[in-house]
Structure 1
Amino acid sequence: MHVYSFEKLDVWKEAIKLAAKTYQITELFPNEEKFGLTSQMRRCSVSVSSNIAEGTARLTQKDRAHFMTLAYSSALELLNQALISKELGFISEENFKNIRFEVESITNKINSLRNHFLKS
């Protein structure tokens, strides 16, 4: 079986785990949030790893860097929505801290990857 370059990236692996965790956490949200925060948080969490994967397939370094920016933005969008969810009492302080910690780790790695592409 062929392994694509993005599958070798630690940041992509972390982003996949973050998406899975986001799905688990939002499973506990109220039913009326199914098409609100639940949907938004799930989509942007999936978008992080998706943009990393898509970016590695781009031909130019500038294009690759652009997709890393999109992945970074999606991670921050997730953090913002987690903050709102915490304020509304949908997620615990512990789950919020876990998301925040993972977002910080992922965004640091994405930023390094983006800078690498811009310097190449």
Structure 2
Amino acid sequence: MDNVHFSFEDLKVYQKALDFTDHVYSLTDKFPQKELYSLASQYNRAAVSIALNTSEGSGDTDAQFHRFLQLADDSLRECVTCSTIAFRRGYISKEQNQSSRIMLLEMFKMIKSLQKYLKSKSK
């Protein structure tokens, strides 16, 4: 049997979102136990949400895809806040926070570009 492949898996922003999710899980694995059901859980869920919304919206109309990309962007912004809190609490280093922010900025730019493209197609 050949590998089953879905078209959204070709989206660079989706691939970057999966990479970021791996990054976040590796960070939160080292958070204190007391954060397991709070900041760590929230950070993980927000990171996963970027990939989920990107994939979910890609199979719909351009307008719906734009809406799902906005949800991905909202989760991305949530990740910025989670990373900042984790840094301020001493759970991650300055370098880890910066690395997260760089990845998030790259995805942010990709999402905004894709939204702009979708909007221009609808005119």
- Could you tell me the TM-score, scaled by structure 2's length? 0.94
Alignment of 1:99-110 (within 5 A): 99-110=100-111
Shift of 1:2: 3.5
Percent of aligned pairs with the same residue? 29
1:4-23 equivalences in 2 (<5 Å): 4-23=6-25
Q: Read off the aligned partner of 2:71 and give its amino acid letter.
A: L
Q: Name structure 2 gaps, 5 residues minimum.
A: none
Runs of 4+ more than 2 Å apart: none
Show the counterpart of 1:27: 29
Residues in 2 aligned to 1:41 and 1:110: alpha-carbon distance in whole angstroms: 19
2:61 matches 1:56: no
Question: 1:2-23: CA deviations, max 9, x gaps?
Answer: 3212100111111100000100
Q: Which amino acid aligns with 1:106?
A: M
Q: What is the RMSD computed on CA atoms of the aligned residues?
A: 0.8
Deviations, residues 33-53 of structure 1 (Å, cap 9, x unaligned): 000100000000000011000
Give the total of aligned pairs.
119
Q: In structure 2, which of residues 27, 35, 38 is the aligned counterpart of residue 36 of structure 1?
A: 38
Structure-2 residue corresponding to 1:86: 87
In 1, Cα distance between equivalents of 2:70 and 2:108: 10
Q: Please list every run of 5 or more consecutive structure 1 residues that lacks an aligned counterpart in the other structure.
A: none
Map Cα deviations across residues 59-83 of structure 1 (whole Å, 9 max, x no partner): x211110001011111110011100
Q: Does 1:118 align with 2:119?
A: yes
TM-score (norm. length: structure 1): 0.96
AA aligned to 1:51 is N
